[in-house]
Amino acid sequence: MHPVAIGEKNMVSFEYTITNPSGIHARPAGDISRAAQSYDSMITMTNEKGDSCPLDHLLSLMLLGVKCGEKVIVSAEGSDEEKAIEELRRFFEEKL
């Protein structure tokens, strides 16, 4: 986990290279969205182009168009940010 300062806000994040041959398509996007909804923190994902979206927004995740081999950054800010990042990192490693 990396603490990231954005303005005066601090958040934690991790970088991950997508290994799923299909990238982030409908099924994994739905799984990611459901997983993100279980946290109080605001969680976002940023693609290599710098585009980002809330992790709990299914359509936005799909519109990022993340493909196999591309890196993403997942960031969280809020009361359960450490737990969210730790669990989401495991989720990404197991499923993506």
Question: 71 has which bridge partners?
Answer: 17
Q: Are 50 and 44 in contact (CB under 8 A)?
A: no
| Phi, psi dihedrals of residue 93, rounded to the nearest 5° | -65, -35
Look up 25 and say whether it is catalytic: yes
User: Which of 4, 14, 20, 25 does the annotation list as catalytic?
Assistant: 25
Any idea what the Cα angle at residue 52 is, between residues 41 and 92, rounded to 5°?
Answer: 65
Q: Which residues are catalytic?
A: 25
